[in-house]
Chain A
Amino acid sequence: MGGAVTIWSDVGSWGGLQRSAHRIEPLSDRTRLSLRAGAASPGLAYGNGRSYGDVCLNPGGLLWKTRNLDRFISFDPATGQLECEAGVLLDEIIAMVLPQGWFLPVTPGTRFVTVGGAIANDVHGKNHHHAGSFGEHVLALSLLRSDGQRLECNGTQQADLLRASIGGLGLTGVIVSAKLQLRRVGGPWLDTETTVFDGLDAFFALSGAAEQGCEYNVAWIDCLHGSRGVFFRANHGAGGGTAPPQRQRDLRFTPPLSLINTASLRLFNAAYFRCHAARQGASRQAWAPFFYPLDGILHWNRIYGPQGFYQYQCVIPRAAERSATPELLAAISASGMGSFLAVLKTFGTREPAGLLSFPMAGTTLALDFPHQGERTLALFERLDAIVVAAGGRLYPAKDARMSRAMFESGQPRLAEFLPYRDPGMSSAMSRRLLGS
């Protein structure tokens, strides 16, 4: 029955900036898929809607919802190779493989994303210096093109199309299934160490040291208070057993106004910093609260009110990180805007998995900003100027507003990517950044 029924529905993304009518076709049966689309009326795959901006939207047009493509195809507990349909959530993978001693090789900050979305956005995690991005662990994928072709892509066959589809923003076809290489773990626990720091020099020193011995590292910074912060590093721990399930709360309704403003932010940041300063040192944490603290609050995005929010995530190349990062923080601090979620981490030197992959060796900074109209956009213009001057780029999975010029300047391999586009695929983002 999949694909036979067409309905109209309002669809948005995680940032909540816009909801618009889309024609929806659910895909549910991989054995009989057809995409009724072409250059004149293009469509786009939509997974779990966890990207922040417009990469997953095609307003007024067609969306193929992939969440019903949620079957596992095979799993070999000896090698850790998993093949599954593209609508499977990372959450479902963890639930199935962790009791058998395996885990995702790379995970973003939420487990409620689909495998297809993780590949199309080439997501990264806290272990980039160690394992690269998600796309590095994709052994193969099956891609459905709007002309009806089903292409099997792997390291030897259609390898170029595989590289284009990893981080390809859903524009090379609909990912139907993928084969992933998982990584071994001893159990559900992580040995973590928490350290508070003051100043970016201290951050870079901590980060440089941690990259040697720790698989995961990430820092929270207080964007309103100079650059004090909390540095977290961790390794998978030995010892099996099962971890207690993560407590899940739900923000059931959207408050009429953003609950994040300068006053609440100052209070939150001070409390968060003190809380961690008091609990410095080593501890053992379960996988869910360590990797996915925000997944403990379903619909946390509603805290920003009906106007929604932007996430600004940039990467600054290594050569400029020590000069440009303080500039970014100073500009944000001067604006008085910012968020409780302010994340700083370093990326290692790895060959990018995809032609348009976001990570590059350097430092990445991510912050949420409630949408306050012109004021917010003016701040982004100032931040953009710093990022472009430093030779950095923005993360498309989070973006809703960067200029075409900025995208082009940050993506040196864009010209190589374009021939792999499927003319039957288009998104609000592709029309904004690629012109079609």
Chain B
Amino acid sequence: MKDPMHPTPLRVLIIGATSAIAGAVARRYAARGARLALLGRREDALQANAADLRVRGAAEVAIDVLDLLDTERHAEVLERAWDRWGGIDVLLLAHGVLPEQHAAELSVGLTLASFDSNARSVLALLTDLATRFERQGCGVIGVISSPAAQRGRASNYVYGAAKAAVSNFCSGLRHRLFSKGVRVLTILPGFVDTPMTAGFAKGPLWATPELVARDIERALDSKNGTLYTPWFWRPIMTLVIHLPQALFLRSKL
């Protein structure tokens, strides 16, 4: 299966590759015959995904094992991933942990742990990789942030604040890399039915990882800026962001 847009197979690096959304995106690239590098913490889970992607048509699948909290080791592993195929066309950063909000409110440790996994590790990875992309002069960086980043709300501001750091960082990176021919896509998925959200009651606003992955793949192909997926989160969050303070403070959001 050849990708008509890319005569040599696309080089895709996915960080946090065992997350449900990343997994669904990886399958779409595999069906296009891309080369995929999967980076994550657990080797056996990465191997299982790699086998699946090979069957689904990936030209090549490599895995890199890395505990993303271990920022000391980032440079070495990223170097290897980058050099394997002499560069990367598509980067997707997809790892994240949803902390239990009420527990985090009472715990400095949990709050900072959420920052470590959702923000600190992302900023570290992006700092290293952005320079490589800048030197390469082409490619796209997709980062999964969250609509929760758009306005701090009582129900999930610990998670939201970490994601806000990521969104803000990506905005600056996009500005910096625009003139270098590198796009930076901030991805804001709404409610997605994944193992991370297994404990939530599902309603009509929930989307499948497959649907979100389709939006992400399309946006990575051509867009620069912020992607809400599914699309209806853009009007919803516009309302939430602009809700007057007097009303907002009395709401249950």
- Near B by CB (< 8 A), chain A positions 315-337 give none
- Contact check, A26 vs B55: say whether CB atoms are below 8 A apart: no
Binds A, one of B2-10, B41-49, B83-91, B108-116: B41-49
- Contact check, A72 vs B196: say whether CB atoms are below 8 A apart: no
CA distance A74 to B55 in the complex (A): 6
CA distance A55 to B133 in the complex (A): 54
Cβ of B235 within 8 Å of any chain A Cβ, yes or no, is no
The residues of A that contact B55 with a CB separation of less than 8 Å are 72-75, 84, 96
CA distance A71 to B45 in the complex (A): 11
A73 to chain B, nearest CB (A): 5
Binds B, one of A27-35, A120-128, A357-365, A424-432: A27-35
Cβ of B253 within 8 Å of any chain A Cβ, yes or no, is no
Cβ of A2 within 8 Å of any chain B Cβ, yes or no, is yes
Cβ of B28 within 8 Å of any chain A Cβ, yes or no, is no
The residues of B that contact A26 with a CB separation of less than 8 Å are 195, 198
Cβ of B199 within 8 Å of any chain A Cβ, yes or no, is yes
- Tell me the B residues contacting A by CB distance below 8 Å: 18, 20, 42, 44-45, 48-49, 51-52, 55-57, 195-196, 198-199, 201
CA distance A7 to B199 in the complex (A): 6
- Contact check, B56 vs A72: say whether CB atoms are below 8 A apart: yes
- Most central of B18, B42, B198 by chain A CB within 10 Å: B198
The answer to whether residues A30 and B195 also contact, given A72-B55, A96-B55, A96-B56 and a CB cut-off of 8 A, is: no
User: Would you give the 0/1 interface string for A53-75, flagging 1 where the beta carbon is closer than 8 Å to chain B?
Assistant: 00000000000000010011111
Chain A residue nearest to B57 in the complex (CB):
A96
A5 to chain B, nearest CB (A): 4
The residues of B that contact A71 with a CB separation of less than 8 Å are 48-49, 51-52
The residues of B that contact A7 with a CB separation of less than 8 Å are 198-199, 201
CA distance A346 to B32 in the complex (A): 42
* 10 closest cross-chain pairs (CB), A and B: A72-B55, A71-B52, A31-B44, A5-B198, A1-B195, A75-B55, A72-B52, A5-B199, A73-B51, A28-B195
A side interface size, CB within 8 A = 18
A147 to chain B, nearest CB (A): 22
The residues of B that contact A29 with a CB separation of less than 8 Å are 18, 45, 48
The residues of B that contact A28 with a CB separation of less than 8 Å are 20, 195
CA distance A28 to B194 in the complex (A): 10
The residues of B that contact A75 with a CB separation of less than 8 Å are 55
The residues of A that contact B20 with a CB separation of less than 8 Å are 28, 68
- Most central of A68, A71, A73 by chain B CB within 10 Å: A71
A299 to chain B, nearest CB (A): 15
B94 to chain A, nearest CB (A): 14
* CB-contact partner of A5 in B42, B45, B195, under 8 A: B195
- Contact check, A31 vs B48: say whether CB atoms are below 8 A apart: yes
- Near B by CB (< 8 A), chain A positions 16-31 give 26, 28-31
CA distance A31 to B44 in the complex (A): 7
User: Would you give the 0/1 interface string for A261-280, flagging 1 where the beta carbon is closer than 8 Å to chain B?
Assistant: 00000000000000000000
Q: A7-B198, A31-B45, A68-B195 are known; give 10 further A-B pairs, CB within 8 A.
A: A1-B195, A2-B195, A7-B201, A28-B20, A28-B195, A29-B45, A32-B44, A68-B20, A72-B51, A96-B57
The answer to whether residues A1 and B51 also contact, given A72-B56, A96-B56 and a CB cut-off of 8 A, is: no
- Near B by CB (< 8 A), chain A positions 62-105 give 68, 71-75, 84, 96
Can you list 11 pairs linking A and B with CB atoms under 8 Å apart? A7-B199, A28-B20, A28-B195, A29-B48, A31-B42, A31-B44, A32-B44, A68-B195, A71-B48, A72-B55, A74-B55
- Most central of B42, B55, B57, B199 by chain A CB within 10 Å: B55
